[in-house]
Structures are given as C-alpha cells and as structure tokens.
Amino acid sequence: MREYTTGNRIVDASAEISITGNITPQAWYKTIVKETGKPHLAAIVILSDIVYWYRPTELRDESTGQIIAIRKKFKADLLQRSYQQIAEQFGLSKKEATNAIIFLEKLGVIKRVFRTINLNGLVVNNVLYIELIVEKLKELTYPHCYDAPIPSMGDRGEDIVEEIVEGQCFTVNNSEMAVIGEGAVSPKRERVSPKKEIPATPQNSRCHFSEGTALSGNRQTNTDINTDISTTDYTNPVQSYQKTLQAFREKIGYDALCIDRPFDIDRLDEIVGIAVDVLTSTKDTIRINQEEKPTAIVKSVFWKLDMFRIQFILNNLSETKTKIRNMRAVLLTALYNATFTLSNSVMNQVVMNGDISPQYA
C-alpha cells in the first residue's frame, strides 16, 4: 500500500490523530465579543459544546459506507444542562457559567427553558434546558452572508466593482450556485456590552432590565474607572452603602437569581437589604441566634455568601410551614448558618431522597 507524505514529519504524525468533539469557528472570535471588542471566551467554548450536542450523529451502512440515518445525541426534545455541569466541564465558577449562558441568550443564539420534571418519583423544579437558535447561529458563523455590504464609491459617485477572494459565501438558488462577496468594507456588528451579559439592575430598585446600552465614543477607560474607585469616600454613609450593595449583589449573582426566580424577587431584596445592613454596620456586636457576636466576624461570614447559599435559604423559606414571628432575626441566623451548614444539608437531602446510601454520606 502506498504511503503518502507531506514532507513534514510533524504534519504526517498529526495526520494519524483523529480529533473529534467541539468545533469553534474562527468567525466567533469576531462576532461573540464584549463591549471592549475582545472575544467572550467563556461564552464561545460553552456555545461550541452546545452546538456539538445539537449536531446529529450519522449512522452508516457497514457494507456501502453510505449514510442511512441520523439521530440526536440527547434524550429529550431540548438539551438539558445545569450551570454546575457547565462550570465543572470548563473550569469556571458557577457565576461565570451562569453569566456566559445569559450572555448567549441576550445575544439571541440560545434560549433557556426551565421545566419541572419527575425523576424516579422525585419532582425537580427549575431544570434548565437549552434551545439552540440555528438562524442566529448562522449569522454569527457566517457574518458576511447576513450583513448588507457597504458599496465603495469612486470620485464621481460611481460604484467600484471589486473582486473578493476571501470571505465569500455560497448560496444555492434553483439548483444554481451563487457567490456573494464580502464587500470592500468590513461589516459592522453590534457589540454586546458587559451590562448585557446579565440584565442591568438599578441599585435602588428591583430587577428592571434594560433593553440595551448605547455605545458611545466617549466611554471611560479602565484607568478612569480605577481612579473613581480609589478616590471613593467611604466615610460617606450613603456612598459606602451603595458600593457595598453593588459589591454584595455581584458576589451572590443577584441578576441571575432575579431571572431564575422571578417570584422570589421581593424576598431576595429583603435578604440583600438585611445583609448589606450588617456589612455596613458600625456596631461592635450583632445578635445572631440569640447570641451577641463580634460584628467583624459576622461581616467576614456574610462576605462568604454566594448564589448557592442564597438559593438554599430561599428554598428553606418556601418549605417552612411554621409561622415566623421575627423574620429579621430568622434571616440573620439563616444567612450566618448557611455558610457553615450548606454542604451537610445538601448531603442529608440526597440521603433522604434515597439517591445514595447513608453509609457513604
């Protein structure tokens, strides 16, 4: 049998490797970008994985090698994923994975669908399914085929015909192949700002999401932003409270919680308000679970709160059937204890559901 060679031993050796899996089109680094114009790498790798699962598997005839059928890779009508699965797969935090998914949804290439499913007799709420919007995917992958070309004009206003070699798109119309040129000027795409990654939320109100953010040529640089932060007067109680409120909301993934739990926004705002009151308190001690604790210790514990623990508290409040007389005291205790007891509570729930044997808990 004749052996072929490229003349380069490294290339020949690479030809022996069959690489499969996720594919990342080069165009995505130009079309899936942040406001700065840099690629949103987390969103790109996650979208690449979503597209992989939506690509069908080919079934070929063993004797002829011809494709005889195609089938989907997942069981349901949509791809089921969780933020935690995505985070662990790509080495992200859950907040980063959540924000990237929301970014892709705002971009229009995916749609999140939340369902209630029955898993071996156990009812599970808010299970995340991801729908891929193929038309938008085409726009992001073949941007030059979807953007209207800007004609080049000569000195007298006449159109200048240019031959385009790169960036051509091929379309089939009535069994005839046509070539659509890219145009002389690179098409201009709308950039998605970081504020669109997670819906913008005013600091002094609930989750009122803005439709978009105007892009201006007079945007502040990173240097300006850092200067503003470094000169903040933290002795000003109002200014300090607003900064703490913003930082705490970012820490717990407030915007993502608003989207995932729209019916819990009132309770979420109350929890955030109580937490920020503690974090900006000037008292020496704070009463937690009928015991006076140093404020500094309580603050350090509250800064460890994250999205999981806030969800844990909201779930427990929903399941509580006893009337709560002092809600503020209960929430303070719940916020303090959530940092220490979440893992054991989750493991206990898993054991109670019969998912694992108690001896392994």
0.75 surpassed by pTM: no
Asked whether the predicted pLDDT for residue 351 surpasses 60, the reply is no
> Residue 176 pairs with which residues in a beta bridge?
173
Q: How many residues does the chain have?
A: 361
Query: How buried is 304 (Cβ within 10 angstroms: 0-12 exposed, 13-18 middle, 19+ buried)?
Result: exposed
321 within 8 A of 283, measured Cβ to Cβ:
no
Greater pLDDT, 58 or 194? 58
155 DSSP 8-state letter: T
Summary mean pLDDT of the chain: 75
Give the pLDDT mean for 290-295.
Answer: 91
Q: Which residue has the higher pLDDT, 79 or 201?
A: 79
Nearest residue to 58 (alpha-carbon basis) of 66, 49, 50, 67: 67
**pLDDT tier at 343, thresholds 50, 70, 90:** low
- Give the model confidence (pLDDT) of 104-130 as tens digits: 999 999 999 999 988 777 888 889 999
**Gyration radius of the chain's alpha carbons:** 27
Rounded to 5 degrees, φ, ψ at 111 are: -135, 130
Mean pLDDT value of segment 329-352: 72
The fraction of the chain above a pLDDT of 70, given in percent, is: 68
**pLDDT surpassing 50 at residue 32:** yes
> What domains are there in the chain, each with its CATH number?
19-147 (1.10.10.10), 205-360 (no CATH)
Cα angle vertex 104, ends 102, 108, to 5°?
110
Helices (H), the chain: 9-14, 28-31, 41-54, 83-90, 94-107, 134-141, 143-146, 194-197, 222-230, 237-252, 254-260, 265-279, 295-302, 307-319, 327-352
Please state, in angstroms and rounded to a whole number, the distance separating the CA atoms of residues 23 and 45. 9
| Rounded-to-integer distance, Cα 128 and Cα 84, Å | 11
Residue 134 has pLDDT above 70, yes or no: yes
